[in-house]
Structure 1
Amino acid sequence: MAKKKFSKDWVHQHINDPYVKLAQQKGYRARAAFKLSEILELEKINVKGKRVVDLGSSPGSWSQYVREQMVGPGGVLDGRIIALDILEMEPIAGVEFMQGDFREDEVLERLEKSLVGQKVDLVISDMAPNLSGVAAADSARMQHLCDLALEFALAHLKTDGVLIVKAFHGSGFSQIVKLYKNHFVRVVERKPKASRDKSAETFLVARDLKN
């Protein structure tokens, strides 16, 4: 009974969520687009003319938003977006999508071939694990995804590049922040207004790789 009530509450909250309505109006695939837009605005990150990799991109709202910001005069795309996900993603004009697990060498090789040896300006990751409800296990899974995003960024980011990654407050969070601070000059936490109050999610913005 409790589960039924919970799902009814969630549906009610979702339907009445202003960001859900706004996403529908603007044609974004998910309300998550507004989380990224706020972070980019707060951090004064301009994506025009930049090379961006979107890890765990499906359904594609972050790639949609980045693409929108890259469109210049006459509708010409000024920049490059490569999106990766294990799941399928409906095509987005101007976004190069690769389906596969970026932890696998074959997928990384495909990406590296596509980049032709060029480094990336921005790596974004809204990846989250399938949550089990067991706090310790979920924290470990989230930490693993943050480690993978960091590993990817260290191999592919420009020295003055930026990594934006989703994390969860809780067990292991301070270790993630410490690890990121070992590699980046500046690491800040951002909790966008579009993140639900009850959600433990927060986003780490890591800038400028240490030598």
Structure 2
Amino acid sequence: MARKQGGPPGGGRQLSVTVRSARKRDPSSTRWLQRQLNDPYVAAAKAQGYRSRAAFKLVELDDRFGLLKKGARVLDLGAAPGGWTQVAVARTGEGGRVVGVDILPAEPVAGATMMQGDLTDPAVADAAIAALGGKADVVLSDMAPNTVGHAATDHLRIMALAEVAADVALSTLAPGGAFVCKVLQGGTEREMLVMLKKHFAQVRHAKPPASRKDSAETYVVAQGFRPAPG
């Protein structure tokens, strides 16, 4: 049975909020504010104490794929502000161990270890593994770069982060472990997918309902990690 940890309100009709442009607010800021005010996931995140609406993406992925087992060790890459870390702590329970890492600072998350550092620095990855106390059962990455509005450039930037996350996963996961990573639809992730299929029993794409329909983001879910021999 799929586990439920709450989600956006459904069933009833949601009232739409219209935001008038203020003198000092540009049109793009007005559109962003209106989208936030009318987003049921934003309201649900606030009501349930999540730090971001993105927490529901992991909730939905876990409900579908059963990623976060009780007592699991979880490494959350690009953890700030901590929404995915909160979900991982809740779902792995008291016996679990969750470490969140981000180049940006993040407020502490109860039940987790939060670290600030650049994952391209081997010392940061080593410190994260040490904090886990052993190999990870799950490596999560919701990392995304600052976008520039140029589709090809943005795609290359997010795929560069995805490749960093994949490298960390391959060196960190225990046998049978899982890796979840944000990518952008567009085809340049093919090489990474080929590599993942060599090391995981199953590799699938998933776009959780909490992912906005107008977003090109999707997630790669790789399960059944098979370490390279030797």
Q: What TM-score does the superposition give when structure 1 sets the normalisation length?
A: 0.90
> One-letter code of the match for 1:16?
N
Matched, 1:148 2:164: yes
Kept after mapping to 2: 8 A contact 1:146/1:167: yes
- After the TM superposition, which of the residue ranges 135-144 and 17-26 deviates more from structure 2? 135-144
**SS in structure 2 at match of 1:29:** coil
Unmatched segments (≥5 aa) in structure 2: 1-20
Structure 2 vs 1, CA of residues 108 and 46 (structure 1 numbering), >3 Å: closer, same or farther?
closer
Structure 2: distance between partners of 1:184 and 1:141: 24
2:84 maps to which residue?
A: 62
Out of 202, 208, 211, the position equivalent to 2:224 is 208
- Aligned identity (percent) is 40
How far did residue 149 of structure 1 move?
0.8
> One-letter code of the match for 1:136?
A
**SS in structure 2 at match of 1:165:** strand
1:130 maps to which residue?
A: 146
RMSD of equivalent CA atoms: 1.8
Structure 2 vs 1, CA of residues 112 and 70 (structure 1 numbering), >3 Å: closer, same or farther?
closer
> One-letter code of the match for 1:9?
R
Structure 1: distance between partners of 2:173 and 2:88: 17
Note the 1:67-146 alignment, pairs <5 A: 67-71=89-93, 77-116=94-133, 118-146=134-162
Structure 2 vs 1, CA of residues 37 and 65 (structure 1 numbering), >3 Å: closer, same or farther?
same
How far did residue 11 of structure 1 move?
1.1
> One-letter code of the match for 1:122?
V
Query: What is the number of residues matched between the two proteins?
Result: 204
Structure 2: distance between partners of 1:112 and 1:64: 19
1:14 maps to which residue?
A: 36
2:11 maps to which residue?
A: none
**Higher helix content, 1 or 2:** 1
Structure 2: distance between partners of 1:44 and 1:209: 15
Matched, 1:186 2:202: yes
How far did residue 108 of structure 1 move?
2.2
How far did residue 175 of structure 1 move?
3.2
Deviations 1:68-90 (A, max 9, x none): 2233xxxxx22000110111111
1:41 maps to which residue?
A: 63
Unmatched segments (≥5 aa) in structure 1: 72-76
**SS in structure 2 at match of 1:23:** helix
1:5 maps to which residue?
A: 27
How far did residue 103 of structure 1 move?
1.1
Structure 2: distance between partners of 1:44 and 1:112: 23
**SS in structure 2 at match of 1:188:** strand
Kept after mapping to 2: 8 A contact 1:139/1:171: no
Structure showing greater Rg: 2
Kept after mapping to 2: 8 A contact 1:136/1:171: no
Instruction: Identify which of structures 1 and 2 has the higher relative contact order when contacts are C-alpha pairs closer than 8 Å and 6+ apart.
Output: 1
1:170 maps to which residue?
A: 186
Matched, 1:23 2:40: no
Matched, 1:51 2:68: no
Q: What TM-score does the superposition give when structure 2 sets the normalisation length?
A: 0.83
Structure 2: distance between partners of 1:167 and 1:138: 11
**SS in structure 2 at match of 1:36:** helix
